[in-house]
């Protein structure tokens, strides 16, 4: 796999840490060892997985002479926050289209990422209903920017295209080189699977490098495992194609569990909230109710039901998302100093 053939901006200056989680591992008592890869600590305003993708996507935009980025996401989108953040660092304008996937969920005075869109100063912000045609809305915004004499570049929601997925092919390479340094071999990598770019990039990277690590996705948006696997298989094949690799991958290696989605996208259930509490209270690591809390609930649920082979080393890919935690305060009624 030769990633040096693709332009990139160099946003990821060093590998993110891989840490053993001794207290979480002990509390699980499931005969496995759990590690975390801290992509929540990636550079970019408050970190997270989109920095790896935007490293390639923004390089492509600049290579085409763009002076503005247009992208879309949900009302608490980490992808929109990071696209805006990197646009600012590059001296580009950034226009966001926010989808109300849960009706009436946009609050102009909302906290979390919503606050950050305002603080960072998005150059345009358009809110559309979740049922609207997102691509049409994004193209309309791009058309208005062209009319004003500028050159917009559209980054798809989640930077979920083969260019963005290269960021996670690079992450697969990084994990394999960290395995060597740390003298470890991981059996599984588990991640949130939403737009599918993270999951697909990992699959494309590991398959290109001949690794046997199993990538396990946890659905955070689509209600069925089949629907998510279809999206991921397609994007993995297109990413491999961009990398110049022939053929798709064995469909049996595309795995995503829908059992931890809760009531739907961005809506946590008790399992999500308990998982967030457990990691906070055993390892002082924060996760969020939309993405990483659900992926973690998936890891815990699969461990408890014996999915992982005994003695497995399981790597939880922490993809970030913590800014949104602060807009879910009402879900955590506990009072410090009291047992709950
Ligand atoms: C914090 C976080 N984790 C995971 C994901 C899912 O990643 P992907 O969209 O690449 O499937 C997202 C997507 O927005 C995210 O913001």
8 and 100 inside one domain: no
116 and 62 inside one domain: yes
Helix (H, G, I), strand (E, B) or coil at 241: helix
Dihedral (C-alpha) 244, 248, 249, 254: value to the nearest 10 degrees? 120
Query: Is residue 336 in some structural domain?
Result: no
133 and 241 inside one domain: no
Q: Which of 152, 226, 228 is nearest to 191 (CA)?
A: 228
Q: Which domain holds residue 26?
A: 3-48+160-331
Is 0.85 topped by the overall pTM? yes
110-114, 165-169, 191-195, 290-294: least confident range: 110-114
Please tell me which residue in 72, 77, 256, 312 is annotated as part of the active site: 77
139 and 85 inside one domain: yes
Q: Which of 158, 186, 209 is the last residue of a domain?
A: 158
Nearest ligand 1 atom to alpha carbon 324: 1
270 and 290 inside one domain: yes
Q: Which of 217, 207, 201 is nearest to 247 (CA)?
A: 207
182 and 71 inside one domain: no
CATH number of the domain bearing residue 101: 3.40.50.1100
34-48, 245-259, 325-339: least confident range: 325-339
CA of 340 to the centre of ligand 1 (A): 30
Taking only the tens place, the pLDDT of each residue in 36-78 is 999 999 999 999 999 999 999 999 999 999 999 999 999 999 9
Query: Is residue 340 in some structural domain?
Result: no
**Beta carbon of 256 within 6 Å of any ligand 1 atom:** no
132 and 103 inside one domain: yes
Residues 155 and 179 sit within 8 Å (Cβ to Cβ): no
Query: Is residue 339 in some structural domain?
Result: no
Q: Which of 115, 96, 319 is nearest to 202 (CA)?
A: 319
Q: What percent of the chain shows pLDDT beyond 70? A: 99
Residue 167 has pLDDT above 60, yes or no: yes
Q: Which of 101, 125, 158 is the last residue of a domain?
A: 158
Q: Whose CA is nearest to atom 9 of ligand 1?
A: 195
CA of 40 to the centre of ligand 1 (A): 11
77 and 183 inside one domain: no
**Beta carbon of 291 within 6 Å of any ligand 1 atom:** yes
Q: Which of 141, 158, 175 is the last residue of a domain?
A: 158
182 and 303 inside one domain: yes
pLDDT at residue 248, rounded to an integer: 79
Annotated active-site residue 63? The verdict is no
**Beta carbon of 78 within 6 Å of any ligand 1 atom:** yes
**Beta carbon of 48 within 6 Å of any ligand 1 atom:** yes
249 and 121 inside one domain: no
174 and 297 inside one domain: yes
Cα 270 from Cα 258, distance rounded (Å): 15
Taking only the tens place, the pLDDT of each residue in 258-306 is 999 999 999 999 999 999 999 999 999 999 999 999 999 999 999 999 9
192 and 149 inside one domain: no
Binned at pLDDT 50, 70 and 90, residue 338 comes out as low
CA of 83 to the centre of ligand 1 (A): 13
CA of 177 to the centre of ligand 1 (A): 23
Query: Is residue 129 in some structural domain?
Result: yes
Q: How many domains is the chain built from? A: 2
Q: Which of 78, 81, 164, 272 to mutate to test the pocket of ligand 1 (most atoms within 8 A of CB)?
A: 78
**Beta carbon of 47 within 6 Å of any ligand 1 atom:** no
């Amino acid at each position: 796999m030769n990633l040096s053939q693709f332009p990139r901006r160099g946003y990821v200056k060093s590998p993110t840490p891989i840490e053993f989680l001794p207290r979480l591992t002990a509390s699980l008592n499931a005969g496995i060892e759990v590690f975390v890869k801290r992509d929540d600590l990636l550079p970019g305003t408050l970190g997270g997985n989109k920095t790896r993708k935007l490293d390639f996507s923004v390089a492509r935009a600049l290579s085409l002479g763009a002076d503005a980025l247009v992208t879309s996401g949900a009302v608490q989108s980490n992808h929109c926050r990071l696209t805006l953040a990197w646009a600012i660092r590059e001296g580009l304008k950034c226009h966001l289209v926010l989808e109300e996937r849960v009706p009436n969920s946009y609050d102009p005075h909302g906290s979390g990422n919503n606050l950050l869109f305002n603080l960072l100063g998005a150059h345009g912000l358009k809110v559309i209903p979740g049922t609207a045609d997102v691509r049409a809305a994004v193209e309309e915004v791009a058309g208005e920017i062209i009319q004003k004499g500028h050159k917009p570049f559209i980054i798809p929601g989640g930077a979920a295209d083969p260019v963005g997925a290269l960021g996670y092919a690079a992450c697969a390479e990084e994990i394999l080189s960290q395995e060597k340094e740390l003298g470890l071999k991981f059996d599984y990598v588990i991640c949130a699977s939403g737009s599918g770019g993270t999951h697909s990039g990992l699959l494309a990277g590991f398959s290109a490098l001949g690794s046997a690590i199993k990538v396990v996705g946890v659905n955070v948006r689509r209600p069925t495992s089949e629907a998510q696997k279809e999206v991921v298989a397609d994007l993995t094949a297109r990413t491999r194609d961009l990398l110049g690799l022939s053929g798709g991958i064995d469909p049996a290696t595309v795995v995503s569990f829908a059992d931890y989605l809760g009531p739907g996208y961005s809506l946590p259930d008790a399992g999500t909230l308990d998982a967030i509490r457990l990691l906070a209270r055993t390892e002082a690591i924060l996760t969020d109710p939309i993405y990483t809390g659900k992926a973690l609930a998936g890891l815990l649920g699969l461990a408890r039901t014996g999915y992982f082979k005994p003695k497995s080393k399981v790597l939880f890919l922490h993809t970030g998302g913590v800014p949104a935690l602060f807009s879910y305060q009402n879900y955590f009624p506990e009072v410090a100093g009291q047992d709950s």
